[in-house]
Amino acid sequence: MLIDTYGRVATDLRVSLTDRCNLRCTYCMPEEGLQWLAKPDLLTDDEIVRLIRIAVTDLGVTEVRFTGGEPLLRPGLVGIVERCAALEPRPRMSLTTNGIGLKRTAAALKAAGLDRVNVSLDTLRPEVFKTLTRRDRHQDVLDGMAAAREAGLTPVKVNAVLMPGLNADEAPDLLAWAIQEGYELRFIEQMPLDAQHGWKRDGMITAGDILESLRTRFTLTPEGSEERGSAPAERWVVDGGPHTVGVIASVTRPFCRACDRTRLTADGQVRTCLFATEETDLRAALRSDVPDETVAELWKKAMWGKKAGSGLDDPSFLQPDRPMSAIGG
């Protein structure tokens, strides 16, 4: 079991499969991209599956989320999913993606055992999408989401980040569209994880701003803390139901006390938090031919040292050196 000194138990594993991405979102990385990890530094498919097996069979993990960068750029993704689906007990498996490659991969991922997807889409306007991502791929994302829905990778959840001066006014339109299409929409406050360290609290679109905007068109009723559990999103019932909308307020309403996550970077480092400044190297242990029990003990020791919170409200907060693409959102 992955327990920390505050009694929290990590049962949700986020696995970054690559730091590479085919978009250049302004809140994530510079236009020219980043210095990607060298291939020998990345975990191999076998190493990823081994770590997930240890997490599931020895450490009590019940849910696995594949992330990136953009996980659909990982050549062995379908095989990794298929091998993890064969584990006993079988974990629930999902994928966070920008959606560009979903049209061609959704059916294969479903057949391999993937349960559902989260797709990032910040705007319904193609020209704003191009400005935000520096790529003209808006229709590809919409097509990918439709393919995921058709393949049964449901519920298809949509993650949206609102940015001042670009898409700050789109919250009601995004919600109306998500309801029409049968997707579950969740707004995420912009977090200090950009590679260029340009994030500023002043001027960011907060959860309060988002809810105020949504209420100009919809009636929102809090779903309640019992339904939320350890989920990061606070959810509201829209116009009496059955549809809901979520807001992940990582900055203004942190949910650290209920956090149940542990994270693996694409190069095999354990991170206890998105905002952690320290990591524990499991890749070196794997490549030293140590037994599973040793790897599990290293993992447990790392999680035992997890801090009480993200530290975002501390005046001394330092943004992690590693960008979100390397950490895995």
Q: How far is the C-alpha of 116 from the C-alpha of 197, rounded, in Å?
A: 32
Query: Cis bond leading into 71, ω under 30°?
Result: no
Total residues belonging to the chain:
329
Does the annotation list 110 as a binding residue? Answer: no
Is residue 21 annotated as involved in ligand binding?
yes
Sign of torsion over alpha carbons 323, 159, 95, 7: positive
- Known binding residue 263? Answer is yes
Strands 269-271 and 63-67: unpaired
Residue 325, annotated as binding a ligand: no
Contact 13, 55 (CB under 8 A): yes
Is 273 labelled a binding residue?
yes
The string of DSSP codes covering 168-225 is TT-HHHHHHHHHHHTPEEEEE---S--TT----STT---HHHHHHHHTTT--EEE--H
165 annotated binding-site participant = no
- 191 labelled binding-site residue: yes
Does residue 84 have a known ligand-binding role? no
Does 183 appear as a known binding residue? no
The verdict on whether omega for the bond into residue 69 sits within 30 degrees of 0, i.e. cis, is: yes
* Binding residue positions for S-adenosyl-L-methionine: 27, 69, 120, 191
* Binding residue positions: 14, 21, 25, 27-28, 65, 69, 96, 120, 157, 191, 256, 259, 261-263, 273
* Binding residue positions for [4Fe-4S] cluster: 21, 25, 28, 256, 259, 273
* Binding residue positions for GTP: 14, 65, 96, 157, 261-263
